[in-house]
Amino acid sequence: MADTLNAAVAILRKNKFKLTKQRHALLEFLLTNQGHYTDVVTVDAYMRTEFPGMSHNTVYRNLKEFEEVGIVEQNTEQERTRVKYQCDFHHQHHHHFICQNCGKVTELQMCPMDFFTDQLPGYDITGHSFELYGICAECKAAGVVAAPKKTLVNN
């Protein structure tokens, strides 16, 4: 855990950010919860409990800066923004499987972009987002069953 924290601190320093008490506490909170995405509102509430004078804007600005330098990953689901500590500082482009029961995040080792670029000759793809959702092995072993997804039918 210390190595991961030191890597994040090195990234902040490389990008000319001061390591304030607040930023250090934010890094530690994210690192403690690194296996799951955490709702930004929860992060904000934690930071404002630890630092009562800290504004919402400061928390959100720091999270945005952490994302810009690659320390934090962001995910938006059902209009809720969630963040988590970067899985791998050496391979920042990656994708996830997210358990719909416990929220556990598992890094996927391959990117499906070749499949799509082959289907779109002559196109320029400028970005993508790819995540898989379901039930992790631990939850499945505990008897959790995935809720069926509704399928829209076009007539």
Q: Per the annotation, does 87 bind a ligand?
A: no
Tokens of 33: 């919860």
Length of the chain: 155
What span, in angstroms and rounded, lies between the C-alpha atoms of 17 and 65?
9
Residue 76, strand partner residues: 81
Tokens of 44: 């904000």
> Three-class SS of residue 138?
helix
Q: Per the annotation, does 128 bind a ligand?
A: yes
Distance (Å) of CA 90 to CA 65, 71, 96, 103: 18, 11, 16, 24
Nearest CA-CA partner of 59 in 39, 77, 76: 39
Q: Per the annotation, does 111 bind a ligand?
A: no
Q: Per the annotation, does 102 bind a ligand?
A: yes
What span, in angstroms and rounded, lies between the C-alpha atoms of 74 and 148?
26
- Binding site residue list for Fe cation: 93, 128
- Binding site residue list: 93, 99, 102, 128, 136, 139
- Binding site residue list for Zn(2+): 99, 102, 136, 139
